[in-house]
Structure 1
Amino acid sequence: MKILHINQSDSTGGAAVAAVRLLKALRGCSADAEMLVLEAAKDDPAIHPLVTNKWDRLVRNFKFAAEVFSFVPYEKSRQQRFAFSPGRFGYNISQHPQVKEADVLHLHWVNQGFLSLHDLNRLIQTGKPMVWTLHDTWAFTGGCHYPGTCGGFTSTCGNCPLLKSPGSNDLSARQHLRKERMYANVAITFVGCSDWMKQMAERSTLVKKDLRHLVKHIFNPVDTGLFKPADKQKVRAELGLPADKKLLLFGAANTTDPRKGIIHLLRALKQLNAKNPGLKDELELMAFGKNIETFSHELPYRMHPFHTVKGEERMARLYQAADLFVLPSMQDNLPNTVVESMSAGVPVVGFDIGGVPEMIKHQENGFLAAPGKWKDLAEGILFVLGKGTLPGENARIFAETHFAPEVVARQYLDIYQSIAGG
C-alpha cells in the first residue's frame, strides 16, 4: 500500500515539520510512504517537488501573489491577511504520477497557492481513500485558519469577523457551500493533531453532515532520539550561554503574530521582576523566531537571541539548554514547540487553550495558566522553577509514550489499513 502525503512545503511552518516527521516515522516502520510538495528544501528521494527550475519558481511566485491579492478586497485588516485563505489559485495535481500511483492520499496543509478549491475537488474526485490531518481549521471552515470565538463553522459560516464586509452570503459563506458540495458523497478521514481540533471538526457542518466522514485524534510525532535530555552545562558552553542562570525559552515562527501572545509574556516577565526583584540576577531569556528584536527593549531580563533557527539539531540544543519553555499562545492546535520541549525533558508553562492541556499536566510536567491571565503565567514560571528536575522528567515520560515516532506511525497505519486495506 502506497501512501502519498501532500503538503505545501517540506520545511516552512509547523505543518511541514509535523508532516515530514510523520513521513519519516512511517518509513521507519517500513511503510511505502512518500510526499508531494510545492517546493522542497530537503534533498530526500521520498519528497517530490512540483517546483524544480527557474520557470517553475516564477509560476509559483505568481500563484502565491495572486492568491494573496485576491483576498485583499475582502480583508478587514492587513495584519490578519494570512488568517483567511480564499483558495482561488493552485496546481492541478490529480494527474501527477505520484497521485496516480498512490493507494491513499494524505493531505496536510495545502494553502497559499498550492491547491485551490477547484484543485482540491479534482483530487477528491479521483476516488482514492483520503486522510486529512488538521493542522488548523481551514478544512472545515469557510476560509479561516483559526476561528477564535466565532462559531460560524458549526452552521454555514457567513458574517465572518475577518472580512471587511461580513454578511450572510459573504466570501466565507460561499466557500463553506463550495466545500459542502465537494465533501458530499465521499469518505474523508479527518485527523485532529489534538482532541481539541477533533472536537471542533466534529461540530462543523462540513464534517458531521456526512456519516462517512470519520474524525480521529493522533498526536504529532517527534524524534525522541534527537529531542532528548542532555548535559545542560555542556550544551550551554557550546551555545555561549551562562552556566549559572535560570534560562527561560520562548519562540515561534513569527513572534509578533498576535496569536502567539508575546504581549502576555512581556507582562508576565514584568510582573515577575516587580514582585521578585532578586530574580534580576538569576533569570535570563532565550528567544528564537522572526522579529524577536521588536520586543527585546521591553524585557526586564537579559535576552539571548537566536532568531531563525535552521536545522533540528540546533533546535534540540536550545531546548536542552533551557530550564523551562514558556508558551503564551492564546490559540493553538498542538504546538511543535511543546512537543519538542517535552521530548527534550523541559517542562512547559502555557495557557489552558487549544490542545495544550492535552500535553501539559498541571503541576506535574508543567503549569497551565488561565487563558490570558499573565499573572498566572508568572506564577507558573516560579512554580515550575521551584520544583527542580521532576517536571522535566515527567515531561520526557509523557513524550516517550505519546509522541515517539513508532507510537504515532502505528496509529496512522491502522487508519490506512481500515480505509484501503492491503
Structure 2
Amino acid sequence: MKVLHLSTFHQFGGAAIAANRINQALNRAGFSSDMLVANTPVVEPFVTSLAQTPWQKRWNTARFALDRLTFMPFERNRDVRFAFSPALIGTDISHHPLVQQADILHLHWTSFGFLSTRSLSKLFALQKPVVWTMHDMWAFTGGCHHSGTCEGYQHHCGNCPFLRTAAPDDLSHSGWLRKQTAYQNARLTPVGCSQWLANRARQSSLFGTLAVHSIPNPLDTRVFVPIPKAVARWELKLPDHKRFILFAATKVSAVGKGFSYFQKALGLLRQQLTQPDDVELLIFGAGDESLLQELPFNYHFLGSLKSVQQIVTAYSAADLFVIPSLEENLPNTIMESMACGTPVVGFGVGGIPEMVQHQQTGYLVNYRSVEDLANGIEWVLEQSETNFNQLSENARNHVVMHYDETVVAQKYIRLYEQKIAPKSPKGDLDASDSGSKSPL
C-alpha cells in the first residue's frame, strides 16, 4: 500500500511540520509513504517538490501571489489577509506520477496557490480513497481557516465577518458551494488533529454526514527529550540562577498568537512577584525584535531556530512555556515543550485543553483573561522543586503516551487499511479515533 501526503509547504508553519512528521513516522514504521509539496529548498528522503525547474519555482511563487490577490479586494482589512483562502488558484496534479501510483491520497494544508477547489475536484475524480488531516477549519468552511465565534459553516456560510462586504451570497457562500460540488462523489475521510476540531467538522454542513476521525499529530520523543537545565542554559549562554519564561511562535507578531496578552500579563506578573528581577524571558521565532523592547523583564531573543537540537535546548532551558494563542488546533509547540519536560501555560481554547491538564502538566487559563494568564505563570514559578519535578514528569509522560510517533503512525495505518478494505469488520478503530456516524 502506498500513501501520498499533499501539503503546500514542507517545513514552514505548524501544519507543514505536522504533515512532515506523519510522513517520517510512517516511513520509520516500515510503511510506504511519500510527500508532495508545492516547493521546497530542502532535500529530504520521501519528499518531492512539485516545482523542479527555475521556471516552475517562479510559477509557484506567482500562484501564491495570484491566490492572495484574488482575496485582497474582498478582505475586511489587512489583519485578515491570510485568514481566508478562496482557493481559486491552484494546479492540476492529478496526472503526477506519485499521485497515479498512490493507493491513498492524504491531504493536509493545501491553500495559498497549491491546490484550488478545482484541483481538489480532479483528485477526487480519480476515485482513490482520500484521508484529509485538518490542521484548521478551512476544509469545511467557505474559506476561513478559523471561524472564531461565527457558526455559518454549520449551514452554508455567507455574511462572512472576514469580508469587507458581507452578504448571504458573498465570497464565503460561493466558496462553500464550490466545496459542496467538489465533495459530492469523493471517497473522503476527514481527520481532526484534535477532538475539538473533529467535533466542529461533525457540526459542519459539508462534513456532517461523514465519519470524522480524530488522530493527533505525532512527535519523535526520542529527539524531543529533557536536557538538564544547567546544561541547556550553558549551551545558550544563559545565567543558571534565573527563572525563565519561554514564548515561541513561527511569527511572534502574528495577531492570533496573542503576544499583546502576553505583554500585558507580564506587566501584572512583575507587580505580583516578590523578586521580579529573578525572572527573565526566553523568546524564539521570526519577527521584529523591536516588539520585545517594551517587555517588563530582561529578555533573551534567539531568533528563528532552524536546528531541532537548538529548539530542544531552548525548551529545556525554560521553567515554563507560555502560549497565549487566541485560536489553536493542536499546537506542535505545546507537544514539544511538554516532551522536553517543560510545563505549559495557555488559554483553554481549541485543542489545548486536550494537551494541558490543569495544574497537572501546566495551567489552563481562562480565555482572554490577562489576569489569569499572569496568575498561571506565577503559579508555575512558585512551585517547590518537588512539585515542579512532578509537573515536568507528568508533561513528558502525557506526550509519550498520546503523541509519540509510533502510537500515531499505527492509528493512521489502521485507518488506511480500513479505507482500502471497506468491507472489513467495523469497530477496528478505538473510540478516540472515530466519529459516531457511518461513512458515505
TM-score bucket of the superposed structures, by smaller chain: over 0.9
Q: Verify: 1:407 aligned to 2:403, yes or no.
A: no
> Is 1:305 paired with 2:305?
no
> Take 2:255 and 2:44, find their aligned partners in 1: how far apart are those partners?
34
**TM-score normalised by length of structure 2:** 0.93
Does 2:265 correspond to 1:271?
A: no
Give the % identical residues.
42
Cα distance between partner residues in 2 of 1:62 and 1:235: 42
Q: Is residue 154–residue 204 contact of structure 2 (8 Å, CA) maintained in 1?
A: yes
Helix, strand or coil for the counterpart of 2:207?
Answer: helix
- The one-letter amino acid paired with 1:177 is L
Deviation at 1:277, TM superposition (A): 4.8
Partners of 1:343 and 1:218 lie apart in 2 by 18
How many angstroms does 1:306 deviate by? 1.2
Q: What is the CA–CA distance in structure 1 between the aligned matches of 2:45 and 2:52, rounded to whole Å? A: 14
1-structure distance, mates of 2:141, 2:347: 24
Aligned-partner Cα distance in 2 for 1:26–1:300: 45
Match of 2:315 among 303, 314, 319: 319
Does 2:76 align with 1:86? no
Secondary structure at the aligned position of 1:42 is classed as: coil
Residue correspondence of structure 1 range 361-376 to structure 2 within 5 A: 361-376=357-372
What corresponds to 2:427 in structure 1? none
Q: Which residue of 1 aligns with 2:379?
A: 383
Q: Which residue is 1:163 aligned to? A: 163
Query: 1:105-144 maps to which residues of 2 (within 5 A)?
Result: 105-144=105-144
Compute the TM-score of the two structures, normalised by the length of structure 1.
0.97
Q: Which runs of 5+ in 2 are unaligned?
A: 423-440
- Secondary structure at 2:39 match in 1: coil
Write the distance in 2 (CA, Å) between the matches of 1:13 and 1:84: 16
Deviation at 1:227, TM superposition (A): 0.8
Equivalent residue, structure 1, for 2:242: 245
**Which amino acid letter does the alignment assign opposite residue 107 of structure 1?**
L
Q: Deviations over 1:220-247 (max 9, x none)?
A: 1111011111111111111111111111
User: Quick one: which amino acid aligns to residue 362 of structure 1?
Assistant: H
2:220 counterpart residue number = 223
- Residue 340 of structure 1 is matched in structure 2 by 336
Match of 2:53, as an amino acid?
N
Q: Do the aligned partners of 1:11 and 1:41 also contact (CA within 8 Å) in 2?
A: no
Q: 4+ residue runs of structure 1 moved beyond 6 angstroms?
A: none
1:262 is aligned to: 259
Contact 1:40–1:47 (8 Å) recurs in 2 = no
State the alpha-carbon separation in 2 of the partners of residues 91 and 316 from structure 1. Answer: 37
The RMSD of aligned alpha carbons is 1.1
SS in 1 for 2:285: strand
The count of residues paired between Structure 1 and Structure 2 equals 418
| Mapped partners of 1:312, 1:292: distance in 2 | 22
Per-residue CA shift, 1:318-375, capped at 9, x if unaligned? 1011110001011100111001001111100001100000010000000001000111
* Structure 1 residue identity aligned to 2:397: I
Q: Deviations over 1:245-301 (max 9, x none)?
A: 11111011111111111111111110011122522x210111111225132122110
Conserved 8 A contact 1:292-1:307: no
Within-5 A mapping of 1:6-155: 6-155=6-155
Q: CA deviation digits over 1:365-387, x for unaligned, max 9?
A: 00001000111111111111222
Counterparts of 1:83 and 1:347, CA distance in 2: 29
Q: Which moved more, 1:29-38 or 1:286-295?
A: 286-295
Give structure 1 stretches of 5+ with no counterpart. Answer: none
Q: Which amino acid aligns with 1:222?
A: L
What is the one-letter code of the residue matched to 2:299? Answer: M
AA partner of residue 339 (structure 1):
M
